[in-house]
Each structure stands twice: as C-alpha cells, then as structure tokens.
Chains A and B, each alone.
Chain A
C-alpha cells in the first residue's frame, strides 16, 4: 500500500509534466492538423534556457532567495521559449501551409534534428547537472521503515501545473483569443471570412504551446536536476502519446492522457521492469493509435469523400 501511494505521487508528478507538453501537441494538431514533431525539442531547449538563467541569477547576480529566482526563471523561460515557438512556426511551418500533407511533418523532423544538434553544438554533449534546490518534503506515512514522502518539489510541480491549467482553460474558454482559436480549429476558411486573423491565431497557438512546454522544462529541470541535449525526443514522444490517448484536439484530454501515461510509466518501472518502461510507452502509443484513434475524450474523425 505504501509503495503504491509513493508511486502514485511520483506518477502524478511525472504525468503533470507530460500533460503540459501534451497541450502543445494537441493544440497544434487541432488547429492545423500537423504533428509538431519538434515540440519535444522545444521543451528540451527551454530546460537549457532555465538552467542557464538559474545559474545567472544565483551565481552571477547573487540572488539568495531560491523561490524568487525560480519565479523569475519561470517567467523569463516562458517568454524566451515562446519566442522560439514563434520563430519556428514562422520559418519552418508557415510557408508550407497549403502544401502537400507530409511537408510540415518532414519540416518538423528537420527542426527537431536542428534543435537538438544546435544545443549540442552550443552547450556540449555532456549531461548538465543543476545545483540542488528545494530539498526536503512532507512525510505522509511512516510504516515499518518505508516512508511515503511528498517532496516540496512535487508539491510545487503539481501546484504550478494546476494553476497554469486553470489560467489556460480560462484563456481558451472565455477570452476572444480562445474563441478565435476554437473557431479556426473548426473551420479555418470560415473563420477567416468572419474576420479572424488566422495566421496570427496560429502563431499565438504555437507561442502558447511553447510557453507551456517551457513550464514543463523548468519543472523537469527542477525535478530531475540534470538535462542533456538528447532529452527532447523521448519525453516528446511520451507527451504525444498522452495527447493521442486523451483524444487529440482535446485540452482536458491532453492533461488526462499525461497523467495516465505518467502513472503507467512509474507503475511499470516499479512493478515490472525499468528497462522496458519506454517500450511500454511506445506500445501504448501504437495500441491507442490502432484501436482507439479518437482517444478518451476526442471526437471521432469522419472522413468526407
């Protein structure tokens, strides 16, 4: 029971991070129908940005309050990563709108290869550890030597995720941007006829997706304390799995899918084998796409001839 509870906490933490990345996939797929293959690498870039900003603030500027430093890092990383998302859409995807269907996917694979190697060239191939921050936690249960702890990091990750999701939900459901975004998702041409700037809406979608990936990047760095240039691919695929599992195009679905994938991964590692945890994630991806392509909360796609 206590092992189960501990794994549940770990799984939910991991799942929050996947959920944040998955939103970027699901929004982009919803609005322009492409798999933004480079999203995982945007997440990795944001981790590096956060790492460097954190070092800058603490060692160069001598900021002693870790909490304040983290807050500044979070905001700045979101802004800088959003700029990456915007620039990528502008350079690599926008010229391809209306091109044949595979062009954006291949372009996205190119961006993904570019980003991971860009970081490798500029930052080196070795793993980058962070100084430990936010240690300690709350002991929930202590039975026979096995203590179930909820660390402050995990609290922070879940809290930040929950707050951001609420804010994000408000943005999509209640503001005029959100309305425009949902309209473009339904019918881009009709939305354009009704005076919505479609290009701007798509740009903003990428910006928002990248900003949420940046939050995930900061939290990932905080949680694992190490990042490397190749860390984008596997979390990216897992987050995509989460988006598909939840039903691609559905925002609550992305978060739900992220939590499920996080839980499956941690329980699989704890009870079966840690070597095959990525195999489990990839298998879920294949199984869901083959047998349940509309996901848990998604709409079934109707093909018109």
Chain B
C-alpha cells in the first residue's frame, strides 16, 4: 500500500527506512489495539463488567505487524527492482497475445483430474482411513464443499455470466430447503418429487424478486437483493405457524435410495443389496447425490453459455446499453438469469434439508450469501473451474484449522483455532481483492469465436459495470 503512494522509486529504500516504516505500522496497530484488545471485558458474578488487561497480546500483535511489514517491504523492493529492468514488457504481451497461458493449460488438464478425484473420493477416503465409519469426516467434508461448489456455480449464472450482483442468494437456498421440508412433512412427498418442486418454487421466487430490480445495477442491486434476503429470513423467523419460527423444522424425512430407505431392517438398503448395515451408506449416497447435482449445474451452465440466452447474458454483463440498442430484451434476459440461478439454489437447498434433517432460519443468514458471493468472485467471475477451486479453498481451508492441534501448545490450552475461522475468512476476502481483484482464474475464453478461440486477459474485461 505504501508503495503505491511513494512510487517504485523507493525500491532501493535503505534498511533503516524500512524499519522506520514498519515501526509506524506497528504504532498504528498499537493504536488500533487500544483499548479493544488491551482490555477484555468479563462479566463478573454480580453481572457487572470487569476489565482484564492483556498487554502481552497487544505486544505480540504489534510485533507481528512489524515483522510482516518488514518482510512485505523487502519483497516489494525486490519485485520493483526486477520490474525496473524489464519496463512494462508483460503488459504489452498480455494485451496483444491471446495465446492460452500456463494457467489455462493447467486448467484444461485439471478438469478431468478434479472430476476423477471427486468421483473417487469416498473410495480414497475409505482406503486412506481404513474403514467406512472412519472415513465419515472426509466424506462429510466432501459433501459440505460440494454443496458450496454447487451454490457457487448457481450464483455464477447470475453474477458471473449475467453480471448481476446478488447479495441475497441465500434466500433461494432457504426457499428450496423450506419447500422440501414443508412438502415432505405435511404432504409426505418423497425427496425425488420434492426436488424439482423446490427448484420450481425457488425459480418462481427468483422471478418475483428479480422483477422489481430490473432497473437497478451494481451496488444498488446488491443492496436491494441483500434486503430481500434479509426480509425472507425475518419472515421465516416470525411466521411461526408455517415455518416453526426460530426453532425451525425438525424430523424431516431422510434421503432414500430411490425409495429404499437406509435402515437396518429387512427392506433397508443394506439388506436388499446384500451388504452389512452401515450408517455411512447414506452419507456416501448423499455425497454422490450432491456431486451429481453439482455436475448437472455445471453441465447446464456450460450448455446455456452456447445458446442465444447465454450469449445475451454475457453481452448484458459487458454493456447493458449496447445490449439494449442491439435489440436484446434485457427484461427476459435478466429474469431468466435470476430464475435459473435461483433454481439451482433451490436444488441445493432441498439437498441441504434432506441431509441435515433439520433446518432453521439461522442457517440462511447474510453471512452465507457473502460466503457464496466470495467464492464466485474469488474464483474469477464466470470461470467454472475457478469457482470450484475457490469453494475448496474457502470452505475446506477453514476446516483445516480444526486440525491444527499444535497451535494449542504455543498459545495455551484454551486456544481454539476454529474460533478464528470467520476472522481469517474476512481477512482473506480483503487480501484477495487487494492481491487479485479479478479472482484466481481471471483469463476469459469467449464462448463464441470466428476462427480461433483467443484468451482475453482479465484486465481487458469490463464486467461488473452494468
């Protein structure tokens, strides 16, 4: 940040300068820590607040800021020195040359590897952990990640392809989940009947909420969709007669293998197929279910991109006014994007309900929307592979925090790394925007090309403008 102000000329900054600069940063950090870190408020017995001083922690934080800043300056200085030798050569090549770069070549190879790994994950997990019930953690983690991959791909239609920033996507997830929960508990419909219905309901809501916001763009669109998402959540909390309020809906029928329940009885899945009963059968089935749903989302998106409607979406993302003057009906274009995105959100929602067996409005708060949007943006808007990678990093990464037991040895017994999950998540969002605002995979390959397909550098694409 400092470098942008003082320019690249301070690449040769002397070491004392760097130390002084880092010292300033540490001083600012000290100011920020007072008093919010330096004193912890604790409720005492007579429900008054006591202050517990923690100056050691403040000193540690300031020292950390100091060290990070010194390292950052040294790295920046080296990079600037290298840049000074080859002035702006890379900028020219990026714009003129359209050949697939290394990242794209890797991504072409990565897709089959990814799909193969996803298909084989339960087997790998069982072999690696040595038993079906021991692999539960990894299969559950796989289900969680795939749910977010699917949500990311669904939102990608709205944000990545049509360029409509939606901060209330979790509302459709909620509609799908409640649709399945209510239909199955009140009418006793099976999951396979409810799944399309849930998608249909969500799509309907997508159109309903999309209709009033047709005229809005950019930040305003984002805020209105946020408001819609919150309204739906508040209605779910307060409409106790229908939704059970904050207590939610419990004892939702569990998933069956196309009608065969996963129970220990004679007509259960295990008995029918001559296996010994294991509760993990259901989890493995759920894993393949969400994998199939996610791949379906991906396939539909990729096909739609080649249809006229998909091209209209991308045209809309690049320039709405040009789009309109070429005679594209922006109303239907936007509404189909909202409806299709919402439909996949609804599918994911009903999967969520059937997996958990219990839903409450708490699962559908704004943070979920922010996480899904972050996945889409960090993946590089519009890139399917990028979204999958981002989902693994954003959902799987924090999960890894739970396994960092050695940190307890450093920070003491009461230290719980998973407390810091969202803290790091927020920091990661900021860092990604500062470091790579275009996401992990920022290069675009156009859906349609005249002779040869050329990659377009992310910096030449003007999305998010409409």
Q: Which residues of A are in contact with B by a Cβ distance under 8 Å?
A: 33-35, 45, 48-49, 51-53, 55-56, 59-60, 80, 83-84, 87, 90-92, 94-96, 99-107, 109-115, 117-119, 121-124, 126, 128-131, 199, 233, 237, 240, 244, 275-276, 278-279, 282-283, 285-286, 289-290, 293, 303, 305
A37 to chain B, nearest CB (A): 9
**Contacting residue for A100 out of B31, B40, B48, B438, CB 8 A:** B438
CA distance A282 to B35 in the complex (A): 33
Contacts of B42 in A (CB 8 A): 124
Are B423 and A240 interface neighbours, CB within 8 A?
Answer: no
Q: Are B321 and A305 in contact (CB under 8 A)?
A: yes
Pairwise interchain contact A283-B231, C-beta atoms closer than 8 A = yes
B residues less than 8 Å from A95 (CB atoms) = 1, 4, 434
For A290, list chain B residues within 8 Å (CB).
Answer: 212-213, 215-216, 224
B residues near A, CB below 8 A? Answer: 1, 4-5, 28, 31-32, 34-37, 39-43, 47-49, 51, 165, 212-213, 215-216, 218-220, 222-224, 226-228, 230-231, 234-235, 237-238, 321, 366-367, 370, 373-374, 377, 419-420, 422-423, 425-430, 433-434, 437-438, 462-465
Q: A59-B51, A128-B49 are in contact. Are A80 and B31 (CB under 8 A)?
A: yes
Show 20 A/B contacts (Cβ-Cβ < 8 Å), sorted by A.
A35-B223, A55-B41, A80-B32, A91-B1, A94-B1, A99-B437, A103-B437, A113-B422, A113-B425, A113-B426, A124-B40, A128-B43, A233-B366, A275-B238, A276-B238, A279-B234, A286-B227, A289-B223, A290-B224, A293-B220
Chain B nearest Cβ from A237, distance in angstroms = 7
Given contacts A113-B426, A121-B420, A289-B220, contact A282 B227 (CB under 8 A): yes
B230 engages A278 (CB within 8 Å): yes
Instruction: Decide if B36 touches A87 in the complex (CB within 8 Å).
Output: no
Given contacts A103-B437, A106-B373, A109-B370, contact A282 B231 (CB under 8 A): yes
A100–B438 Cα gap in the complex (Å)?
8
Q: Contact check, A106 vs B433: say whether CB atoms are below 8 A apart.
A: yes
**Selected contact of A114 from candidates B222, B226, B427, B438, CB within 8 Å:** B427
6 smallest CB-CB distances across A and B, nearest first, come from A110-B429, A114-B426, A113-B426, A107-B433, A110-B430, A103-B437
Give the distance in Å from the alpha carbon of A121 to the alpha carbon of B40 in the complex. 10
* Residue contact B32 to A52, C-beta cutoff 8 Å: no
CA distance A113 to B377 in the complex (A): 16
Q: CA A99 – CA B36 in complex, angstroms?
A: 32
Q: How far is the CA of A174 from the CA of B42 in the complex (A)?
A: 45
Known: A34-B219, A100-B463. A52 touches B429 (CB 8 A): no
Cα-based distance from A281 to B426 in the complex (angstroms)? 26
Bound-state Cα–Cα, A194 to B296, Å = 57
| A92 x B434 contact (CB < 8 A) | yes
Q: How far is the CB of A55 from chain B (nearest CB, A)?
A: 5
A83-B28, A87-B28 known; A282 and B434 CB under 8 Å?
no
Residue from the list B40, B218, B238, B434 in contact with A101, Cβ < 8 A: B218
Question: A100, A130, A290: which has the most chain B beta carbons within 10 Å?
Answer: A100
Contacting residues, chain B, for A123 (C-beta < 8 A): 36, 40-41
Q: Are A52 and B41 in contact (CB under 8 A)?
A: yes
Docked pose: A99 CA to B377 CA in angstroms: 14
Q: Is the CB of B31 within 8 A of A83?
A: yes
Min CB distance, B170 to chain A, in Å? 13
CA distance A305 to B466 in the complex (A): 12
Given A34-B219, A289-B216, 16 more A-B residue pairs with CB atoms under 8 Å apart are A49-B36, A52-B51, A55-B39, A84-B32, A92-B433, A99-B437, A100-B437, A100-B463, A101-B219, A102-B464, A103-B433, A110-B429, A114-B423, A122-B36, A124-B42, A129-B43
Contact partners of B438 in chain A: CB under 8 A: 100
Instruction: Compute how far the CA of A28 lies from the CA of B52 in the bound complex, rounded to whole angstroms.
Output: 36
**A113 in contact with B367 given A48-B36, A83-B31 (CB within 8 Å):** yes
- Find out whether the CB atom of B51 lies under 8 angstroms from the CB atom of A60: yes
A100 to chain B, nearest CB (A): 5
Q: Which of A109, A115, A276, A289 neighbours the largest number of chain B CB atoms within 10 Å of its CB? A: A109
Given the interface pairs A95-B4, A110-B433, A118-B423, the reply to whether A282 lies near B219 with Cβ below 8 Å is no
Q: How far is the CA of A87 from the CA of B423 in the complex (A)?
A: 17
Specify the chain A residue showing the minimal Cβ separation from B209.
Answer: A286
**A305 proximity list for chain B (CB < 8 A):** 321
The answer to whether B36 and A55 have CB atoms under 8 Å apart is no
Given contacts A49-B36, A110-B428, A282-B234, is CB(A293)–CB(B433) below 8 Å? no
A35–B222 touching, CB < 8 Å: yes
* Cα of A36 to Cα of B246 in the assembled complex, Å: 30
Alpha-carbon gap, A101 to B381, bound state (A):
13
